[in-house]
Structure 1
Amino acid sequence: MVLRSVLLFVLAAVLEIGGAWLVWQGVREQRGLVWVGAGVLALGAYGFVAAFQPDPHFGRVLAAYGGVFIAGSLLWGVVADGFRPDRWDLTGAAVALIGVGLIMYAPR
């Protein structure tokens, strides 16, 4: 169950961050409407993927996903844009991922 949840978070991050990046590229880098359209489709798909999380509570899932988004965004920047996170970026991402673990997987 935890593995499924983690994989869904990773897929959601790829879709949401990737979708936002495609829109950014289409608008800010003037790559055109095809890029924007692909981004909008990816962002829509993100919403569906998030709905498949095993936890039934929307607020918990989206709050936890916020931590995945933080870490995933930094990683995306490294891979796609040559961004170099500093120690504070990495520390913040680690804290956020610890939060994900507490929110989603702590025993209740």
Structure 2
Amino acid sequence: MNALLFPAAALAEIAGCFAFWAVLREGKPPLWLAGGSLSLLLFAFLLTLSPANTAGRSYAAYGGVYILTALLWLWAVEGVRPDARDMTGVLLCLAGAALILFGPHKN
């Protein structure tokens, strides 16, 4: 479930934050803030659906997927192709996210 949930949550979070960026930094119409706010609400709701047993571990593991999604956004929306350091960093983050989410824990 996390394989679909985390990317969807990341896309909602990035789209919501980007709407604020676009209004404040790129002069887009303030109406973009309404869509951005709804997107951020969707993001928060989606994270509550995680099957992880604790919110903190769910959020920590989500962080690795968020970083990958942010780099895909960088490429697809902003037209900047991630470089080798970006990709190395995201692989390290995904490995950490997997350890947090799937590793054995005492509680």
Give the TM-score, by structure 1 length.
Answer: 0.90
The alignment partner of 2:68 has SS state of helix
Counterpart code for 1:78: W
Q: Does 1:48 align with 2:71?
A: no
- What residue in structure 1 maps to residue 31 of structure 2? 34
Give the distance between the partners of 1:36 and 1:29, measured in 2 at CA: 13
**Contact in 2 for aligned 1:19/1:42 (Cα 8 Å):** yes
Matches within 5 A, 1:14-29: 14-29=11-26
- What residue in structure 2 maps to residue 100 of structure 1? 97
Q: Which runs of 4+ in 1 moved over 3 A?
A: none
Superposition deviation, residue 68 in structure 1:
1.1
- What residue in structure 2 maps to residue 9 of structure 1? 6
**Contact in 2 for aligned 1:23/1:37 (Cα 8 Å):** no
The alignment partner of 1:33 has SS state of coil
**Contact in 1 for aligned 2:7/2:66 (Cα 8 Å):** no
Give the distance between the partners of 1:78 and 1:68, measured in 2 at CA: 16
Give the distance between the partners of 1:14 and 1:86, measured in 2 at CA: 21
Aligned pairs, how many? Answer: 105
Counterpart code for 1:35: W
Q: Which runs of 5+ in 2 are unaligned?
A: none
* Identity fraction in percent: 39
Q: Which runs of 5+ in 1 are unaligned?
A: none
Q: What's the Cα RMSD here? A: 1.2
Deviations 1:52-94 (A, max 9, x none): 0011201001111111111111110100001121111110001
The alignment partner of 2:51 has SS state of coil
Give the distance between the partners of 1:65 and 1:19, measured in 2 at CA: 17
Give the TM-score, by structure 2 length.
Answer: 0.91
Superposition deviation, residue 107 in structure 1:
4.4
